[in-house]
Structure 1
Amino acid sequence: MIDAALTFHDATHRFAGGTDTPRAYLERCLETMAAREPVVRAWVVTNETAAREAADASTQRWRDGRALSAIDGMPVGIKDLLETRDMPTQMGCPAYRGNFPRRDNAAVWALRQAGAVVLGKTVTTELGGAHPGPTTNPFDQRRTPGGSSSGSAAAVGAGMVPAALGTQVGGSVIRPASYCGNVALKPTQGGLNRGERQATSMSTTGVHAGSIEDMWQVAIEIARRAGGDPGRPGLVGPPTPPPARRPAVLGVMETEGWGALDPASKRAFEQVVDRLRAAGVTVLRRTDHPMLDAFEAALVGVQAMTSAITGWENHWLFRNLVAQDENAISARSRAVLAAAERMTPEDYRLRLLQREEVRRRHAALAPVVDALIAPASPGPAPLWAGDVPGQTLVPRPTGDAVFNTPSSGIGAPAVTIPLTTVGGMPMGIQVMAQVEMDAQATAIARWMLETIPPVVA
């Protein structure tokens, strides 16, 4: 299995006891960054001076017994789609080079209020889409780290920071976490306040981390201060990580991607299913229950549906950028724009109706299963050496989101855990619960991580 990840929750007792400090913790993170960043390339910009000042202030608070929260002093990365008052927000796009709004996103503000140390901005794909940035996979530089939260996933996977913020519209939190060996929470839609990022109906702020405990603590500290999106109740759950909970019944979510899953990855997943059953969990497949089969039938076309909805919702932004400069965005993003321009309002309405049907079928599973499980990605991270000039662009250079678009379309919480290794590379398993049941998904994922022996295929 993959080496142990960097964690923070188990360091705070040392801060309180005076045998370690947030400043010393930060310096260890910076040492790892210095060693690994030249290859991994997870960061766009860092602010080490401000980070050291914040870590020193946290050190004093712990020394005085007045820590602001359980994440006081935690170094964190912020995906470069989210605004930060002390660093530019350039969104992986030449059109935003030098963009410096000098204000904090709601979640970033909440992290600072909780005492977290905002270390820097992590690489995102262009505008959070499919066009990749420079980041490499921390376990094999020939492979993608995933997208669009590529830098956040890689920074955590490389042990540079214990947690980082990402965002997901299709699969941009759960899939890169799978590729980089992280745990991650993609909350219920609107569970964490997106601040200025309200333009698309499926965008969700999430958390990459090296442990379930840190993942939950970061998320709940944000929710306790900034709440959720406008009109949303926000993340609901205990103020500390939910205790592990063994589920009675889990359902397998195959999605459209099941038939194309490679044999080794499929064997690894089936071994997880076998180990769950050996631990006393009933695991149902679509052939075992008509409601599961109806749900799987509704998932046909979900990936195209979510892409169309998001393309339509983004196309005014893309159109305005191209109107200013036709080369302001990549050829991939221009192709997304072209597809959206072919849509009509009626097309968009039909996609929304399709989404509502999928949500209805998922809600009907509430009395049937405690949660659904699935691969968090279609196998381990694929190789990626860059586009070849003069040849057709690779359609999904950061990997396929087919196993992630159901949770995005439904707005349901999903947690990924690094429970399998395939060909020496991590492949996550995801737990998807009902809407607003983020704590339940986390508790089940924690039980699986603590109970089910890791699978090496």
Structure 2
Amino acid sequence: MNTNSFYRPVSGLDLLTRIGNDPPLRGRVILDTLARIEDVDPDVRAMTAVAQREAVMMASAAAAKGALAGMPIGVKDIFDTDDLVTSYGSPIYEGYQPRSDAAIVTLLRRNGGVIMGKTVTSEFAYMAPTATRNPCDMARTAGGSSSGSAAAVAAGMVPFAIGSQTGGSTIRPASFCGIAGYKPTLGMLPTVGMKCFSWSFDTVGLFAAGVRDVAYLAQVLSGRQLAVDGVAVSPVFGVPDSYPWTEPSVNASAALDTAIRAIERAGGRVRRVRFGSWMADMVSAHDTIQSYEAWQTLGYEYDHHRGVLSPKLAAFLDRAAAVETGTYAKACVLMAQAKDRLSELFDGLTGLLTPSAADEAPHGLGSTGDPAFNRNWTLLGCPCVNVPGLWGARGGPIGVQVIGRPWEDARCLDAAAFVEQAIAATAGRHPAL
């Protein structure tokens, strides 16, 4: 089997343009989407529940109004849906049927989106591996915890999908699967009706084929001017000269260098920057805050169903129980102080540019990959975009990450679109496409 045979992302913007205000064509898109899921998902395993009311869905798509009218969308299975089982990736909630939609699902429906199904998540959006395979190479993981959302978009099952990020659960899977992933500024999109893991970090994430697609979806759901109409003019990117968490692989460094050359050829500029010592402090602060909060948010599951938890999550919660309130409070103070110092980090820059992950997707399904390149930005509440288009030495996608100041999401997305266009102009596309 050609290992790239399932990689076929579809541009949501192109699809919206094609179907326009044509009700029969919208219905046809729903049928095609269901057929693609039926054909591909037994191998990719991105979906955990698929809507079965074909006629109702076609009618809903035909009658839909709004900026997403008739668009098929996948929703990560940590968001409640009143018409689909929501199990949060855990056997504890097998067959659980919420009585209401999560707020982000309501926003999708209000704008005409058609929920095709729920996508696979790691257990409670932590790091336990899932059975989802990477559409670019079926021998590799799709990442996590939003494995199903990333894989569903990469395999062309849906043009848009909803995920989440508490550490690196949007940017990393997007990088592994060769698509755009966007983690907005903390708090921009509502998390009501999402199974909480860490209230200081949980962020709704968005997936689409490319940066312009994900920016459009973000605009629709946020009500902010985020869609990319042009590209940034002469953006300035800061590239760290070293990292306080772990160094990128030779593979990831080569991809970053390719992106830098593309940016400079396209008229952008790159400056080397050095992280202050406080950035290293944020690595442990993230672990402390996440642990303390998860010990509380998953308290019921731990106290009543510990034997059903995966060994990875159970061991994490065992450790989390030892985090004292005073230690947590100190970490929160460090986080607040770090956020106050972000202005100096971004001084004179349009955004930062780093690898999205330490390497290509690992082979096998035993790990979802290392979120080291994402955690600090989640803690700091920064908008982040995985820019697709580059491929590593071992034949898998490998993304670069554009990071912006909090609440400068439009600037961050514009800069990411610049990088994406520059890469496409100079690096070409993968021969499988």
- TM-score, normalised by the number of residues in structure 1: 0.86
Q: Counterparts of 1:31 and 1:373 in 2: how far apart (Å)?
A: 38
2:11 corresponds to which residue?
7
Q: Secondary structure at the match of 1:121?
A: strand
Is the CA contact 1:257–1:378 (under 8 Å) kept in the aligned structure 2?
Answer: no
Cα deviation, 1:386-435, whole Å, max 9, x if unaligned, reads 4xxxxxxxxxx100011111210110101111131002100111111110
1:83–1:105 contact (8 Å) kept in structure 2:
yes
Task: State which of 250, 265, 280 in structure 1 corresponds to 2:267.
Answer: 280
Counterpart AA for 1:210: A
Q: C-alpha displacement at 1:381, in angstroms?
A: 0.4
Measured in 2, the distance between the counterparts of 1:247 and 1:328 equals 53
- The match for 1:354 among 334, 339, 348 is 334
Residue matched to 1:310: 290
Contact map agreement 1:15 1:59 (CA 8 A) in 2: no
Match of 1:436 in 2: 407
Structure 2 match to 1:142: 139
Q: Structure 1: how far apart are the matches of 2:20 and 2:152?
A: 27
Amino acid at match of 1:30: L
Partner amino acid, structure 2, of 1:348? Y
| 1:48 to 1:255, Cα distance in 2 relative to 1, 3 A | farther
Correspondence for 1:46? 50
Instruction: Please give the alpha-carbon distance, in whole angstroms, between the structure 1 residues aligned to 2:266 and 2:217.
Output: 30
The residue that corresponds to 2:31 in the other structure is 27
Q: Is the aligned partner of 1:407 residue 2:377?
A: yes
Deviation at 1:73, TM superposition (A): 0.6
Q: What secondary structure is seen at the aligned counterpart in 1 of 2:341?
A: helix
Q: 1:242 Cα shift?
A: 4.3
Give the 5 Å matches for 1:195-206: 195-197=192-194, 200-206=199-205
Partner of 2:310: 330
Match of 1:398 in 2: 368
Cα gap change, 1:71/1:46 in structure 2, threshold over 3 Å: closer, same or farther? same
Query: Which of 334-343 and 26-35 deviates more?
Result: 26-35
Q: Contact 1:272–1:455 (CA<8 Å) still a contact in 2? A: no
The aligned residue for residue 344 of structure 1 is: 324
Q: How does 1:202-281 map to 2 (within 5 A)?
A: 202-224=201-223, 236-238=224-226, 240-253=227-240, 254-257=242-245, 259=247, 261-281=248-268
The runs of 5 or more residues in structure 1 that have no matched partner are 62-67, 225-235, 287-291, 387-396
In structure 1, distance between residues paired with 2:58 and 2:75: 17
**Shift of the alpha carbon at 1:385?**
4.1
1:279–1:102 Cα change, 3 Å? same
Match of 1:418 in 2: 388
Q: Determine helix, strand or coil for the equivalent of 1:24.
A: helix
> Of residues 411, 416, 430 in structure 2, which corresponds to 1:445?
416
Counterpart-to-counterpart distance in 2, 1:30 and 1:455? 31
* In 1, Cα distance between equivalents of 2:144 and 2:234: 31
| Residue type of the alignment partner of 2:258 | Q
Distance 1:213 1:273, change over 3 A: closer
**Which of 171, 174, 186 does residue 171 from structure 2 map onto?**
174
Structure 2 Cα separation of the partners of residues 222 and 18 of structure 1:
23
CA contact (8 A) 1:92 1:123 kept: yes
Shift, 1:74, TM fit: 0.6
- Rounded to whole Å, the distance in 2 between the matches of 1:203 and 1:133 is 20
Structure 2 unmatched ranges of 5 or more = none
- 1:214-237 Cα offsets, whole Å, 9 max, x none, are 31222222223xxxxxxxxxxx32
Residues 8-17 or 431-440, more deviating? 8-17
Partners of 2:72 and 2:113 within 8 A in 1: yes
Question: 1: CA distance between counterparts of 2:428 and 2:279?
Answer: 27
The residue type paired with residue 60 of structure 2 is: A
Letter in 1 for 2:176: Y
Mapped partners of 1:19, 1:317: distance in 2 = 43
Please state how far the C-alpha of 1:58 moved relative to its aligned partner: 3.0
Equivalent position SS for 2:389: strand
Q: Deviations over 1:356-398 (max 9, x none)?
A: 2332332223432110011111111001244xxxxxxxxxx10
Identity of aligned residues (%): 29
Instruction: Measure the CA separation in 2 of the matches of 1:137 and 1:118.
Output: 22
Tell me, in whole angstroms, the C-alpha distance in 2 between the residues paired with 1:115 and 1:305.
40
Separation in structure 1 between the aligned mates of residue 49 and residue 258 of structure 2, nearest angstrom: 41
TM-score w.r.t. structure 2 length?
Answer: 0.91
Indicate how the Cα distance of structure 1 residues 18 and 193 shifts in structure 2: closer, same or farther if over 3 A, else same. closer
* 1:377 matched residue in structure 2: 357
What RMSD, in angstroms, separates the aligned Cα atoms of the two structures?
2.1
- Asked whether the 8 Å contact 1:242–1:442 carries over to 2, the reply is no
CA displacement 1:98-147 (0-9 Å, x = unmatched): 22112100010110111101010100001100112211111122211111
The one of 4, 16, 23 equivalent to 2:20 is 16
Tell me how many residue pairs correspond in the alignment. Answer: 419
- 1:189 corresponds to which letter in structure 2? L
CA distance, structure 1, for counterparts of residue 70 and residue 228 of structure 2:
18
Distance in 2 (CA, whole Å) between partners of 1:128 and 1:382 is 19
Deviations along 1:5-28, one digit per CA (max 9) or x if unpaired, are 211212333323759711111222
SS at match of 1:31: helix
Q: Determine the structure 1 residue equivalent to 2:83.
A: 86
Residues in 2 aligned to 1:148 and 1:52: alpha-carbon distance in whole angstroms: 32
Q: Paired residue for 2:150? A: 153
CA drift of 1:174 comes to: 0.5
